[in-house]
Amino acid sequence: QKEVEQNSGPLSVPEGAIASLNCTYSDRGSQSFFWYRQYSGKSPELIMSIYSNGDKEDGRFTAQLNKASQYVSLLIRDSQPSDSATYLCAVNTGYNQGGKLIFGQGTELSVKP
């Protein structure tokens, strides 16, 4: 079982729609969770962090965390063509070994005008 898994995509949504990106993780002890956006040819940039169960909103982005289900999601409301990118879920794991930040494979999002 992979430590962090994401929908492989690609995910295509029309402009103005809600894009939903999902992520599951294997380490029940994980305490911190992050979403990154990566444009083609660029390095990942942090867009959201979440530490507690529930929802966290930042502008058009909402991160959702359910530790019991070991599930993290990212919702993008009013999707814009500029949101077209690969979205990476990252989970801090392996605390008994000092901790490490592990990434999912990423979900490619395409927002069509």
Partner 1 sequence: KAGVTQTPRYLIKTRGQQVTLSCSPISGHRSVSWYQQTPGQGLQFLFEYFSETQRNKGNFPGRFSGRQFSNSRSEMNVSTLELGDSALYLCASRTGDDTEAFFGQGTRLTVV
Among the listed residues 7, 24, 44, 109, the single contact to partner 1 using CB under 8 A: 44
Task: Give the nearer residue to partner 1 in terms of CB position, either 28 or 113.
Answer: 28
Among the listed residues 20, 26, 32, 110, the single contact to partner 1 using CB under 8 A: 32
The answer to the question of residue 98 lying near partner 1 (CB under 8 A) is yes
CA distance 84 to 64: 20
CA distance 9 to 3: 18
Hey, what amino acid is at 89? Answer: C
CA atoms within 13 A on the CB side of 5: 9
Applying CB under 8 A, the residues found at the interface with partner 1 are 31-32, 34, 36, 42-46, 49, 51, 88, 90, 92, 94-95, 97-106
